[in-house]
A and B are shown apart, each in its own frame.
Chain A
């Protein structure tokens, strides 16, 4: 009993002490979560993330510590700020469980006379499989008339490009737990030297084409590829457009057409539909040149009033589409896209009925309540019910939040969890 009182008092003192940081150069948050599997009893998750920010002279320094059930996994440090015309960002990552340096990056950007300059530098430790690597890249971007021009010179590093699957930044995994960190600067080479130049010109449109972009990529081995992306080609049908990706490599030319179904504004029910082709990925290339139909793969309905939102999502084609978990927005997403984007999803649930309530807390902040009920394609329970997920967040004051969640499926209570977040 004495121990419990001591622990509770200590926690209270820490929480109150942290809130006293308000108004000082220090800010941050501490969040923790515990998830329990009742049968057999085990901890499914025990995590704690502490973020401490210190602001001085236009810069904010941050420390981010990540703990899970099996130990202290990541210790990250970051700094962001502005110095004159320059914006700077630095990140430093350590593997705490092995006491290893893992990765660092420095990004400096500025804009002068309409030209954006960016300098990206990163190092990867030899403690990471395949490391060590280091390098940097220089990015220049600007406009000439209607054209947008971006030049990226790679000196041993690549920069993430959200529009190009070949340039994904870097994701570093902890092999034992699967926890990962993602950064935009991907060092790829040991030592220094020119490794690539990517030049993109976009913004040109004419007649039936919404946008034309050209990307030329050279490596230290010479020409790698040139690609022409034509977006939103109007074929005269109000419900159909095409995107064209024409790529020339040294000994290969490839062309891929992606048909897009253009649906009007939904008045009530959202319809999820796509054009089908005879290719598995529903594009047109090589010998796959037929439009085979239209797939109606999902339906959605959502209505909000007075802080209450009711949503219903139905997946009609569960072989290719799924509903993402609440953490990833509870949306219908193509499975291949979800996997590519690292979004978690429920492969077996075909329908979601959700009620979300957001209200004012008693002492500042907002309280939230979410109840999601899923229906399973493989279950024979009443109405095919599969699982119900309930979570709620309650503010104690404007900076302290408590949360809880529970999941019940056809085999009973699956797990129960509690969490807290303190900001200061």
Chain B
């Protein structure tokens, strides 16, 4: 049994060494390629709905501020008079306005940045089937914990899962 164990260990090490010596044969693409702002699909229960805004791979010690300008948010089948916005994981909502089918908001994290995770929760009442909540990237500005604008980032509205 001991000889077999040693054999397995040696085989494992040999395999590791061989693969190690293949140095960089694999691509150098990580699963966190770009800074990304993620708008989750609306989660609906009865006539109540919820949308989470999250981030992943944010640079410069993470995202610490977000400003969505007027008409930066567009919705369908959502009663905007019922909208409630809540900052998550250290984020505080400074201001928000939802009128008609559009909205805007500003939120900050005054203590640190978020490299990855949820930052804003928006809850509402739905008025019809398949409600949508989308952002216009050209009307969104995000800032880092180092007080610099993050200029290179992606907007994703269809990912079901992300990682950090």
The answer to whether A84 touches B1, judged by C-beta atoms less than 8 angstroms apart, is yes
CA distance A172 to B46 in the complex (A): 27
CB distance B23 to A193 under 8 Å?
Answer: yes
In the complex, chain A residues whose CB is within 8 Å of the CB of B150:
none
Interface string of B16-54 (1 = CB under 8 A from A): 100111111111111111101010111111101010101
Q: How many residues on the B side are at the interface (Cβ–Cβ under 8 A)? A: 58
Does chain B have a CB within 8 A of A129? yes
The reply to whether B5 and A85 form a contact with Cβ atoms under 8 Å apart is yes
**Interface residue? A264 (CB, 8 A):** no
Contact of A286 with B by CB under 8 A: no
- Interface: A130 (CB within 8 A): yes
With contacts A102-B161, A131-B163 taken as known, whether A117 is within 8 angstroms of B12 at the C-beta atoms is: yes
Are B26 and A190 within 8 A (Cβ)?
A: yes
B8 to chain A, nearest CB (A): 8
When distances are taken between beta carbons in the complex, the residues of chain B under 8 Å from A128 are 31, 159, 161-163
A155 to B36, CA, bound (A): 26
The contact of A95 among B13, B34, B43, B161, by CB within 8 Å, is: B161
- The answer for the CA separation of A173 and B53 in the assembled complex, in Å, is 12
Q: Which of B24, B29, B116 contacts A220 (CB 8 A)?
A: B24
Which residues of A lie under 8 Å from residue B29 when comparing CB positions? 133, 189-190
Find out whether the CB atom of A100 lies under 8 angstroms from the CB atom of B160.
Answer: yes
Option from A85, A138, A171, A335 in Cβ contact (under 8 Å) with B163: A171
Judged by a CB distance under 8 angstroms, whether A98 is at the interface is yes
Q: For residue B63, give the distance in angstroms from its CB to the closest CB of chain A.
A: 12
Residues of chain A from 110 to 141 with CB closer than 8 A to chain B in the complex:
110, 112, 117, 119, 124-125, 127-133, 135-136, 138
Assess whether A129 is in contact with B26, with CB atoms less than 8 Å apart: no
* CA–CA, A128 and B43, complex, Å: 18
CA distance A221 to B21 in the complex (A): 13
**B111 an interface residue at 8 Å Cβ cutoff?**
yes
Measured CA separation A189–B41 after assembly (Å): 27
State whether B12 touches A131 (Cβ < 8 A).
no
B93 CB, nearest partner CB in chain A, Å: 12
Q: Across the interface, which residues of A come within 8 angstroms of B118, CB to CB?
A: 173, 178
Q: Would B89 and A112 count as touching, CB distance under 8 A?
A: no
Q: What residues of chain A lie closer than 8 Å to B16, measured between beta carbons?
A: 119, 136, 138, 153, 155
CA distance A173 to B160 in the complex (A): 8
Q: Is the CB of A138 within 8 A of B13?
A: yes
- Which residue, of B13, B28, B50, has the highest number of chain A Cβ atoms within 10 A? B28
Within 8 A of B (CB), among A339-374: 339-340, 342, 347
Compute how far the CA of A138 lies from the CA of B89 in the bound complex, rounded to whole angstroms.
Answer: 34
User: Which of these, A46, A127, A189, A194, contacts B20 with CB under 8 Å?
Assistant: A194
| Contact (Cβ within 8 A) A192 B26 | yes
Q: List A contacts of B34 (CB < 8 A).
A: 130
- B65 part of interface (Cβ distance < 8 Å): no
Flag if B111 contacts A129 (CB, 8 Å).
no
Q: Is the CB of B160 within 8 A of A189?
A: no
Binary A-proximity of B124-139 (CB < 8 A = 1, otherwise 0) = 0000000000000000
B20 near A153: Cβ-Cβ < 8 Å: yes
Q: A86-B8, A173-B163, A194-B19 are in contact. List 10 more A-B contacts (CB 8 A).
A: A69-B45, A70-B44, A112-B5, A112-B6, A130-B34, A138-B13, A173-B164, A175-B162, A177-B43, A335-B111
